[in-house]
């Protein structure tokens, strides 16, 4: 169907709508008023001849772009929908206009053609107007970057980015499956109000989300496996929230760098929050926080807040030395609070500027402070490259310019010790008694009560991290009895933190034996007793 046919369809619908409105009005004179439905605002693209626009299996961008152009030219239409199950092979970029939704069935696949040979910085999906777009939504379908059939291009050098916008605003990318690419999943430059959520991102060629000189960037509920670089990255961007994501990579030379990368040179970065993420098995550090270059005012690089995250087995790369949990330099008053670091290579938290980078770009000035508070740091391992002097809980390689303030953390079983060029008077050094470390359940055991994912259960021991956090930290979200003090660890000051408990273990054991949950156990004991002593009912 062409644009003329669609306009005819719309005009007929409007006439029908007028007749229907008159009929409803007449009926409403003697009865209650009836409601009407809104006209269809969606244009469909398919391959079976039943779409408004239909592709023939190759050069699918031609018909998709016709549909998008039609929506851009006719304000009564808002959405282009890709019907599945279909694979739309493209040989050129897909172009979106303002106020447009590009959506699809989960079985609709945009796929780059074999041996496309596009130039650098030409993306699969981008804006129609080079000066910038606004109010764009991309959702619901799959993008296959066809990496292996375009092997002549290198990863991470700007080839075949899947989605790219610049000088734009109000961009949402969600509920997508993006995989096997050469470049970024979503790259945005000099833009604002970016939302990236509920996506599956697997083995791209650079970053899952890369925001450069942007404001109001939020990414959440994504599951991302890195290749070549990061899952989430911002450069000279501000008002950023990364939360509730699951990030990992795989053990291979191409597996990538940090899980999350926060990078500052000339922009302002003083409102950034990273929380409730699970970051594990990354090739590089879990988070790389890096400010560098010429001197800059403190107000431009301060108050990054990293809290309530779980890090385990991060930093597996055998070829670089800047692996770890959180590797940071060049930022003021960074607060790292209520996280768990388990089995991290090198150290959980590190002040360092990466070896191999130009020292001319390293952070200038002094007084860079990182506050490490209410964290659990356990089982740290030596890094693979140059392992000597590594394996501590916390390491400061920049003591002349960077300072750690360590407050009420729990450190245990770190292979080289707890501190290198750092110290604390309030940390504790004891087994935190996780509920199930093997399965990465980092709730704290408690005789008072622990959340197991479904209900509250009681343990025979209580963690020393309960009611042991920083005295001035907020504990208002913790359930009673909370001891009027925050717990150390991932669940401190949350509704699922472990409850205070000071009952002796044998009392808890006795109470459990006679609780309803142990009814079958008591019956079994009775049968055994009767059998052993040959007592009949």
CATH class of 85-225: mainly beta
Within 13 Å and on the Cβ side, how many CA atoms surround 58? 3
Cα–Cα distances (Å) from 205 to 91, 314, 488, in that order, read 19, 20, 37
Place of tokens 């960037």: 217
The residue-averaged pLDDT of 8-13 equals 48
Closest CA to 141 of 159, 123, 162, 158: 162
The torsion of the CA quartet 506, 445, 315, 257, rounded to 10 degrees, works out to: 170
Cα–Cα distances (Å) from 56 to 47, 48, 284, in that order, read 6, 8, 43
Give SS3 for 532: helix
Give SS3 for 477: coil
Closest CA to 430 of 488, 352, 475: 488
Query: Structural domain boundaries of the chain?
Result: 85-225, 232-429, 434-503, 505-537
The residue-averaged pLDDT of 105-124 equals 97
Q: What is the pLDDT of residues 204-246, one digit of tens each?
A: 999 999 999 999 999 999 999 999 999 999 999 999 999 999 9
Closest CA to 138 of 112, 171, 165: 171
Within 13 Å and on the Cβ side, how many CA atoms surround 377? 36
Cβ-in-10-Å burial (0-12, 13-18, 19+) of 148 comes to exposed
Interatomic CA distance for residues 124 and 179, integer angstroms:
13
Interatomic CA distance for residues 86 and 108, integer angstroms:
5
Q: Maximum Cα–Cα distance for the chain, whole Å?
A: 93
The residue-averaged pLDDT of 410-436 equals 98
Q: What is the DSSP letter of 413?
A: -
- Mean residue pLDDT across the chain: 89
Model pTM? 0.87
**Is 260:282 a contact under the CB 8 Å cutoff?**
no
* pLDDT above 90 coverage of the chain, percent: 80
Interatomic CA distance for residues 311 and 80, integer angstroms:
40
Give SS3 for 485: coil
pLDDT of residue 2: 53
Q: What is the pLDDT of residues 427-473, one digit of tens each?
A: 999 999 999 999 999 999 999 999 999 999 999 999 999 999 999 99
Interatomic CA distance for residues 153 and 334, integer angstroms:
39
Residue 21: pLDDT band (50, 70, 90) is: very low
Closest CA to 330 of 271, 240, 266: 266
Interatomic CA distance for residues 472 and 408, integer angstroms:
11
């Amino acid at each position: 169907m062409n644009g003329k046919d669609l306009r005819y369809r719309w005009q007929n619908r409007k006439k029908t709508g007028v007749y229907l409105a008159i009929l409803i009005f007449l009926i409403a004179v003697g009865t209650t008023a009836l409601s009407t439905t809104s006209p269809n605002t969606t244009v469909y693209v398919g391959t079976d001849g039943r779409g408004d626009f239909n592709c023939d299996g190759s050069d699918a961008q031609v018909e998709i772009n016709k549909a998008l152009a039609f929506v851009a030219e006719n304000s009564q239409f808002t959405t282009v929908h890709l019907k599945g199950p279909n694979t739309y092979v493209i040989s050129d970029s897909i172009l979106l206009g303002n106020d447009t939704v590009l959506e699809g069935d989960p079985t609709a696949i945009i796929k780059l053609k074999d041996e496309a040979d596009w130039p650098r910085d030409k993306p699969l999906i981008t804006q129609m107007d080079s000066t910038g777009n606004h109010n764009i939504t991309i959702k619901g379908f799959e993008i296959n970057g066809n990496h292996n059939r375009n092997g002549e291009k290198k990863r991470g050098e700007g080839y075949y980015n899947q989605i790219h916008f610049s000088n734009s605003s109000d961009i949402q990318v969600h509920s997508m499956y993006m995989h096997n690419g050469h470049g970024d999943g979503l790259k945005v430059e000099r833009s604002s109000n970016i939302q990236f959520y509920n996506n599956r991102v697997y083995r791209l060629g650079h970053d899952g989300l890369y925001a450069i000189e942007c404001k109001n960037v939020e990414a959440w509920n994504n599951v991302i496996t890195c290749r070549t670089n990061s899952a989430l990255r911002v450069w000279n961007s501000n008002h950023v929230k990364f939360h509730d994501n699951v990030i990992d990579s795989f053990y291979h030379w191409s597996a990538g760098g940090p899980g999350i990368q926060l990078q500052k040179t000339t922009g302002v970065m003083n409102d950034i929050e990273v929380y409730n993420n699970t970051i594990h098995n990354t090739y590089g550090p879990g988070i790389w926080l890096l400010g560098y270059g010429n001197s800059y005012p403190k107000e431009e690089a301060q108050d990054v807040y990293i809290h309530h995250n779980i890090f385990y087995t991060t930093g597996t790369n055998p070829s670089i030395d800047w692996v770890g949990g959180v590797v940071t330099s060049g930022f003021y008053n960074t607060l790292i609070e209520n996280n768990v670091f388990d089995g991290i290579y090198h150290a959980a938290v590190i002040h360092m500027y990466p070896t191999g980078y130009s020292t001319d770009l390293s952070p200038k000035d002094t007084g860079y402070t990182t506050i490490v508070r209410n964290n659990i740091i356990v089982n740290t391992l030596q890094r693979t490259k140059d392992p000597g002097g590594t394996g501590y809980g916390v390491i400061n390689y920049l003591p002349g310019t960077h300072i750690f303030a360590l407050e009420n953390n729990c450190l245990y079983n770190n292979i080289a010790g707890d501190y290198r060029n750092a110290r604390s008077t309030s940390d504790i050094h004891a087994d935190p008694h996780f509920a199930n470390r093997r399965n990465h359940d980092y709730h704290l055991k408690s005789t008072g009560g622990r959340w197991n994912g479904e209900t509250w259960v009681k343990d025979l021991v209580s963690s020393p991290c309960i009611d042991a956090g920083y005295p001035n930290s907020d504990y208002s979200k913790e359930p009673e009895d909370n001891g009027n003090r925050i717990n150390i660890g991932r669940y401190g000051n949350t509704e699922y933190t472990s409850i205070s408990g000071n009952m002796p273990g044998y009392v808890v054991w006795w109470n459990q034996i006679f609780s309803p949950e142990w009814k079958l156990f008591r019956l079994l004991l009775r049968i055994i007793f009767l059998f052993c002593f040959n007592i009949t009912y």
